[in-house]
Amino acid sequence: MKKPGEPYRILMLGNSLTFANDMPRMLALLTGAQVVHHTRGGARLSEQLNPKTRLGAQTQAALSQEHWDYVVLQEMSHGPISSPERFFASVKQLCTQIRAAGTVPVLYATWAYQKGSSKLAAKGWDYDEMAHNLAEAYRTAAKENQALLAEVGLQFYQLADTCNLYAADGGHPSEAGSRLAAATIAVVIQTHKENKS
């Protein structure tokens, strides 16, 4: 259990869209929280549930044995729309675990690949459609699981024409993109904390 005066703790579960540009450190600076991340490039949320994987074993131990105030969930970039059943099932299972421990789940809704990028072209997807479908999937998952929602992808969509939020590969965030993600997540968490007190 957390002792009075101890900083609150945030666990981030995701992949390179979380750890790029040391975004967890940005979130820690913005919130004053202790931020820990369990991430691996390309990881899906289903891996965080699988104790037979190194990442899953680490996450399952952390969820059952440690105290967290918030757990932030980030799915593989196109997972919510390319494998929706797996995405919704993973979010449901993780949110059930998180809430059973008295912790608050937060969905970190990510963004569409950059408009005009080779990543988008390789999938044959339309930018607006990818952005809309991702946002809808995360909103639905948040509503179904009573989770907080950090709509980072919506911020990217609204600012993409005026800010350089993407790395050169058109999928990962630039440093500015990671700063925007950290700020969006921080506002959601801090608003929730203020409403609770």
For residue 56, give the CATH number of its domain. 3.40.50.1110
The pLDDT, as a whole number, for residue 1 is 47
Residue 2 lies in a domain: no
Residue 65 lies in a domain: yes
Specify the 3-state DSSP secondary structure of 147.
Answer: coil
Q: Calculate the dihedral angle through the C-alpha atoms of 96, 101, 107, 108, rounding to the nearest 10 degrees.
A: -140
Residue 89 lies in a domain: yes
Residue 4 lies in a domain: no
**Least confident range of 10-14, 82-86, 89-93, 115-119:** 115-119
Q: What is the mean pLDDT of the chain?
A: 95
Contact between 41 and 62 under an 8 Å Cβ cutoff? The reply is no
Residue 3 lies in a domain: no
Average pLDDT value for residue range 6-19: 95
Beta bridge mates, 38? 13
Residue 6 has pLDDT above 80, yes or no: no
Could you give the residue ranges of the DSSP H alpha helices within the chain? Answer: 16-19, 23-31, 45-48, 54-65, 79-82, 84-100, 118-123, 127-144, 152-159, 175-196
Residue 188 lies in a domain: yes
Number of domains in the chain: 1
- Write out pLDDT tens, residues 84-113: 999 999 999 999 999 999 999 999 999 999
Residue 109 lies in a domain: yes
Contact between 72 and 106 under an 8 Å Cβ cutoff? The reply is yes
Residue 1 lies in a domain: no
Average pLDDT value for residue range 12-40: 98
Range of the domain at 125: 9-196
